[in-house]
Amino acid sequence: MQPILKLGSRGSPLALAQSRLTRALLASLMGITNEEEAKAAFPITRIITTGDRITDRRLIEAGGKGLFTKEVEQALLDSDIDVAVHSMKDMPVLGPDGLGLAGFLPREDPCEALITRGPTTLGELPEGARIGTASLRRQAQVQLVRPDCVVETLRGNVGTRLEKIAKGEFDATFLALAGLKRLGLEDKASGIVGTDIMLPAPAQGAIGLQIRTDDIAAQEKLSPILCANTAICLAAERAFLAALDGSCRTPIAALAEIEGDSLRFRGGVYTPQGTQSWVCDVRVVLGISPVDEAARLGKKQGHTIAGEAGDQIKWES
């Protein structure tokens, strides 16, 4: 069988699980039930990115989020693959010329999972607990709730971080609940941190499918598996990020949720040590152009917070 669409993603276990999910949806859509036929129709190329190679320091010290996408996007531009499967929270707001997002799969739970050797909530952690994370957003929100905790850099894939907690190298860490679910590791979560305590990264839990902008055939093949509601929510979250000139250097959180005919949007910007925060919680009724309306809402809230915070949002970066 000739490939129908060639998929590609980072080489991490989670990235490959997301690619396999994409393949399963496409195969089901086309009535392909044999696994070997599905693999032939939608082969997956494993691409090692610069971000995957860096495990000893924060990404901001090496160049930021684009380190997880550059090589995958180059494979797409070179036509080595037809569809790049991305974790949307790793995607820069602006992509390279010639590439665009076809859309998104239905979003998984965007909450954070708390990983410990016993405690199930942040409040149960011992005083002075050592928390491992490479995310300034997580660091800032932890310090807001538990300023006594010591936050230290912890990078690596899901397995690496679970192992370090099991060995007692840290008292706690956080993983996206969506990633644990997609890996079949949801039982590793000691507890779920509600979004009222810790807002997720913009687009957390969402899988984006990127294609060449002139590949109309790929867009048509992907369209039936794409989720309109996820597109609406991510329009708000990514517009918020763009308005704040968001990067790994500024702790930014955002979550948009459709509630009936309305969109609830919550966003937050923090100083890395959690000493200050600027947050919003607003709703808008969605009309005939929900994606555009969501994007306008996110952009407006981002500009409002940027005006309130001024230079302070970069001052501790």
Domain ranges of the chain: 1-106+206-226, 112-193, 227-317
Q: Among 46-60, 94-108, 267-281, where is mean pLDDT lowest?
A: 46-60
Average pLDDT over residues 279-295: 96
What local confidence, expressed as pLDDT, does residue 61 receive? 47
Mean pLDDT rounded to a whole number for the chain: 91
Q: How would you classify the pairing of strands 99-104 and 83-87? A: unpaired
Please name the residues in contact with 217: beta carbons below 8 A apart, sequence gap of 6 or more.
none
Checking if the pLDDT of 215 tops 60, the result is: yes
Would you give the distance in Å from CA 69 to the centre of its chain? Answer: 12
Report which residue type is found at 57.
R
Residues of the chain with pLDDT > 90, as a percent, come to 79
Angle between helices 158-166 and 13-29 (to 10 degrees): 130
Residue with tokens 């969605």: 286
Query: What would the pLDDT profile of 238-269 be if each residue is shown by its tens digit?
Result: 999 999 876 556 899 999 999 999 999 999 99
pLDDT bracket for residue 316 (50, 70, 90):
very low
Q: Which of 215, 248, 243 is nearest to 308 (CA)?
A: 243
What span, in angstroms and rounded, lies between the C-alpha atoms of 52 and 10?
8
pLDDT band of residue 142 (cuts 50, 70, 90) is very high
Q: Which residues contact 100 (CB under 8 A, 6 or more apart)?
A: 210, 211, 212, 213
Residue 302 CA to residue 242 CA, distance in Å, equals: 8
Pick the closest to residue 237 from 262, 212, 206, 275 (CA basis): 206
Q: Do 25 and 225 contact (CB within 8 A), yes or no?
A: yes
pLDDT, position 62: 45
Whether domain 227-317 has CATH 3.30.160.40: yes
CB atoms closer than 10 angstroms to residue 292: 14
pLDDT (mean) for 269-285: 92
Alpha helices in 153-288 (DSSP H): 158-166, 177-182, 216-222, 228-243
Is 43:23 a contact under the CB 8 Å cutoff? Answer: no
Give the type of residue at 173.
Answer: T
| CATH fold of 112-193 | D-Maltodextrin-Binding Protein; domain 2 (3.40.190)
SS (H, E, C) 49-94: CHHHHCCCCCHHHCCCHHHHCHHHHHHHHCCCCCEEEEEHHHCCCC
pLDDT at 189 over 50: yes
Residue 68: burial class (beta carbons within 10 Å; 0-12, 13-18, 19+): buried
Per-residue pLDDT, averaged over 111-140, amounts to 95
Stated pTM of the model: 0.91
pLDDT of residue 37: 96
Write down the pLDDT at residue 60.
52
The token pair that represents 211 in the structure block = 């294609």
Residue 56 has pLDDT above 70, yes or no: no
Q: How many other β-carbons are positioned within 10 Å of the β-carbon of residue 40?
A: 14
Mean per-residue pLDDT for 71-89? Answer: 95
Provide the greatest CA pair distance for the chain.
Answer: 59
Domain 1-106+206-226, what fold? Answer: D-Maltodextrin-Binding Protein; domain 2 (3.40.190)
Candidate list 80, 82, 90, 215, residue with the active-site label: 90
Q: Is the backbone of residue 199 left (phi > 0), alpha (psi -120 to 50) or beta?
A: beta
Do the domains at 112-193 and 227-317 have one common CATH topology? no
Q: Which amino acid is at 83?
A: V
Residue 157, classed as helix, strand or coil, is coil
Active site residue 90: yes
312 pLDDT tier (thresholds 50, 70, 90): confident
pLDDT tier at 51 (50, 70, 90 boundaries)?
low
Where does residue 241 rank: exposed (0-12), middle (13-18), buried (19+ CB within 10 A)?
Answer: buried
Residue 90 has pLDDT above 90, yes or no: no
Predicted pLDDT of residue 315: 42
